[in-house]
């Protein structure tokens, strides 16, 4: 995992197009990056820098609850969404809302996660095992701040990881994530691990083995103020990937707790601090 990640990081540094961005920071950008990882070879946590697994996992559990207020995250020591929240902690109808409470035109709501599970169980060969967060009617007004959009009942930020598609073959569950935009240094390692956690969880619920994760990113970028951090990471030698142990088999996908997950053999290099562009 690290070898592929570092090769794309090097490509961004050496050949990424210099582009302006919403935050005013500036990026080096590539378009249309894709990679795949066989989950049987290890859990895809980067080893060339330590990742904050607590943030990754609690965020995923938060999404699955359908929650859109940072209160739950903060209560569990996670602050990764704080910069975009309204004063009351709300973020508007972001991922959790779209996953569990998609707004239909007739005023009803669809639980996409439950619908996905039903589809995987009853029609495993379907080509429609899809979950989307790109709800055009809820996208933010770009002329307003994230907090103001949340107060107006719109997404504080448009979703980056927009489409999940699942696939069953040879008694294994695989997932492809399509992402419109990806911060290669800070965001993508989190997205990759979150995708792997979700695939493991759903596979367990279905009585399947985890297969592959495939990750396709549109605007793949390295913020210019992450350049020195990226060069430091490139000097490090990858180490063996850790393993994930699911310590319990909950009754449903919505009953997992943080304590149900154990990462063994994770021996990363030290973390590398980098500023978040808001």
Residue 192 a catalytic site member? no
The whole-angstrom separation of Cα 134 and Cα 156 is: 13
Active-site residue (options: 138, 160, 175, 192) = 160
Instruction: For strands 172-183 and 130-132, give the pairing.
Output: unpaired
The string of DSSP codes covering 76-111 is TT--TTGGG--TTSB--S-HHHHHH-EEPTTS-EE-
- Cα of 53 vs its chain's centroid, Å: 12
Its sign, for the CA torsion 128, 96, 30, 137, is: positive
User: Shortest CA distance to 212 belongs to which of 27, 36, 1, 6?
Assistant: 36
Q: Is the dihedral of CA 235, 217, 187, 268 positive or negative?
A: negative
Q: Which residues are catalytic?
A: 160
């Amino acid at each position: 995992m690290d070898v592929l990640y570092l090769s794309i990081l090097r490509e961004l540094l050496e050949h990424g197009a210099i582009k302006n961005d919403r935050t005013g920071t500036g990026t080096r950008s590539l378009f249309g990056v894709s990679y795949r990882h066989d989950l049987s070879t290890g859990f895809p946590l980067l080893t060339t820098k330590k990742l904050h697994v607590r943030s990754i996992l609690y965020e995923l559990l938060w999404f699955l609850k359908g929650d859109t207020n940072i209160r739950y995250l903060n209560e569990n020591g996670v602050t990764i969404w704080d910069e975009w929240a309204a004063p009351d902690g709300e973020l508007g109808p972001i991922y959790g809302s779209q996953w569990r409470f998609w707004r239909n035109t007739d005023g009803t709501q669809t639980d996409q996660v439950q619908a996905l599970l039903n589809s995987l169980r009853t029609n495993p060969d379907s080509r429609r095992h899809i979950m989307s967060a790109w709800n055009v009617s809820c996208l933010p007004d770009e002329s307003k701040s994230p907090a103001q959009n949340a107060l107006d009942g719109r997404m504080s930020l448009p979703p980056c990881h927009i489409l999940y598609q699942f696939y069953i073959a040879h008694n294994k569950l695989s997932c492809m994530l399509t992402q419109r935009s990806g911060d290669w240094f800070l965001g993508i390692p989190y997205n990759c691990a979150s995708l792997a956690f979700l695939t493991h969880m759903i596979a367990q619920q279905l009585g399947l083995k985890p297969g592959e994760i495939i990750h396709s990113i549109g605007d793949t970028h390295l913020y210019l103020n992450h350049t020195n951090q990226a060069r430091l990471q490139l000097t490090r030698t990858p180490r063996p990937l850790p393993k994930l142990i699911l310590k319990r088999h909950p009754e449903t996908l919505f009953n997992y707790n943080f304590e149900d997950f154990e990462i063994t053999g994770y021996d990363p290099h030290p973390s590398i601090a980098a500023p978040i562009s808001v």
